[in-house]
Chains A and B, each alone.
Chain A
Amino acid sequence: MRSRIQGLDFEVVEGMGHMPQFVAPERIVAFIERVANRAFAGRDITAGSQQFH
């Protein structure tokens, strides 16, 4: 997948099974926030903004 999607953030967790959100939720939150920071870069993220809510 790394060679097919440009700029892919690819993380492999040793010893982890199929349910990472149950087993390592803090790690998953960090992963989601890392992708979110790229995805929302440059956008107004003011809480309550009509753009987002």
Chain B
Amino acid sequence: MFLSILSWLLAVLLSLAVLGIASLVLATLWIAAKAERLVPPVGKFIEIDGNRIHYVDQGEGRPIVFLHGLGAQLHHFRHTLFGRLGPGYRLIALDRPGAGYSVRASGATGRLTEQAEIVRRFIEALRLEKPLVVGHSLGGAIALTLAVEHPEAISGIALLAPLTHVEADGREKFGSLYIPSRLWRWIMSYTVAIPTSLRYARPTMEFIFAPQILPGDYMVAAGGWLGLRPAHFYAMSSDVVAIERDLGRIEGRYGEIAMPAGILFGDADRVTRFHTQGRR
């Protein structure tokens, strides 16, 4: 009798757990489908070493390649800057592998040197003659890696609020994004991460934009919805792990950079804080 009740209880608990997990997976897929409906692809695709890269390419003249930050995508530049840079430029913004509509190659790690090499191969594939590379936030760290590892491929770097140094409290800062295990990262991507991200999307983006105001059109016009997809979360978490593994080695080589370079920082930046990322 006791065993029968125990078996029944276990069966109920197991059913509830399966139902809960299935609900999270379905919610994740529903949110991702909505994101793709609201912000469809806008550019072309090119295959680079197994990575399917989505990019926009407009204008003629001096080539500038734009690298977005963590959890972002090409609309962060296309929406804000492309209409404002005058004629005489060829403007190319790509979704970094795993972000936006770009797909990271099977087995790729997101390590900074790997991402810099993909950008180098992208520049080569598009036959760009030594472009200027603009990098925002984590895109700045990749531009710096490119400048250190492949200086012959580019003519200069212009960095906006770049990530330049590993911070002592980096893991705490990235919180639930720091997931070293690939399996656990994948499980989180398809269960808890996306519904939770949707729940906290507004306060998270308000924190990132502060002290300025989150633009009302950010989620659609600037592609914010695209971050609410499991592959995007997986890539973001991979990027966070890669920062800790690679940036310390790269930052020791900044003295080798001899090409024209610029850095712009806001002194009220709460993400890549000026006193740790800019002043050092």
Q: Closest CB of chain B to A16's CB: distance in Å?
A: 3
Is B84 in contact with chain A by the CB < 8 A criterion? yes
Known A-B contacts A1-B278, A17-B210; A6 and B258 likewise in contact (beta carbons under 8 Å)? yes
Kindly state the separation between the CA atoms of A49 and B259 in the bound complex, as whole angstroms. 23
Taking CB atoms and an 8 Å cut-off, the chain B residues in 243-279 that contact chain A are 254-255, 257-272, 274, 278-279
Contact (Cβ within 8 A) B278 A12:
yes
Query: Which B186-244 residues sit within 8 Å CB-CB of chain A?
Result: 208-212, 215, 218, 222
Contact partners of A8 in chain B: CB under 8 A: 261-263
Interface residue? B175 (CB, 8 A): no
A21 touches which of B62, B81, B279 (Cβ 8 Å)? B81
Q: Give CA–CA (A8, B209) in the complex, Å.
A: 26
Return chain A residues, CB-CB under 8 Å to B264: 11-13, 20, 28, 31
The residues of A that contact B137 with a CB separation of less than 8 Å are 18
Which chain B residue lies CB-closest to A39? B156
B25 is an interface residue with CB less than 8 A from chain A? no
**How many Å lie between the Cα of A1 and that of B162 in the bound state?**
11
Nearest Cβ distance between residue A46 and chain B, in whole angstroms? 8
Range of interface residues on A (Cβ < 8 Å): 35 or more
Within 8 A of B (CB), among A32-49: 32-36, 38-41, 43, 45, 47-49
Which residues of the partner chain B approach A23 to less than 8 Å between Cβ atoms?
A: 209, 212
- Confirm or deny: B99 has a beta carbon within 8 angstroms of a beta carbon on chain A: no
- Kindly specify which of B16-24, B44-52, B117-125, B128-136 makes contact with the partner chain: B128-136
List chain A residues, Cβ under 8 A from B129: 51-52
> Which residues of B lie under 8 Å from residue A16 when comparing CB positions?
212, 265-269
Q: Is the CB of B80 within 8 A of A22?
A: yes
- Inter-chain contact A53/B262, CB cutoff 8 Å: no
Q: Which residue on chain B has the smallest CB distance to residue A37?
A: B260
**In the bound complex, do residue A1 and residue B263 qualify as a contact, i.e. CB atoms below 8 Å apart?**
yes
Question: Smallest distance from the beta carbon of A47 to chain B beta carbons, Å?
Answer: 5
Shortest Cβ distance from B137 into A: residue: A18
Contact (Cβ within 8 A) B60 A35: no
List of B residues within 8 angstroms of A20 by Cβ: 160-161, 264, 266
**Residue B104 at the chain A interface, CB threshold 8 Å:** no
Cβ–Cβ < 8 Å partners of A41 in chain B: 260
B155 touches A (CB below 8 Å): yes
With A1-B263, A4-B255 given, name 17 new contacts (CB 8 A).
Answer: A1-B254, A1-B279, A5-B261, A10-B278, A11-B262, A11-B263, A12-B278, A13-B267, A14-B266, A15-B267, A20-B266, A28-B160, A32-B158, A38-B156, A40-B132, A43-B62, A47-B87
30 A-B pairs with C-beta separation under 8 A? A1-B164, A1-B263, A1-B278, A5-B254, A5-B261, A9-B262, A11-B264, A16-B266, A18-B208, A18-B209, A19-B209, A21-B80, A23-B209, A23-B212, A26-B84, A28-B81, A28-B160, A29-B81, A31-B160, A33-B85, A33-B86, A35-B262, A36-B89, A40-B132, A40-B155, A43-B155, A47-B60, A51-B129, A52-B128, A53-B90
6 tightest Cβ-Cβ pairs between the two chains A and B: A16-B266, A39-B156, A9-B262, A38-B260, A35-B262, A35-B158
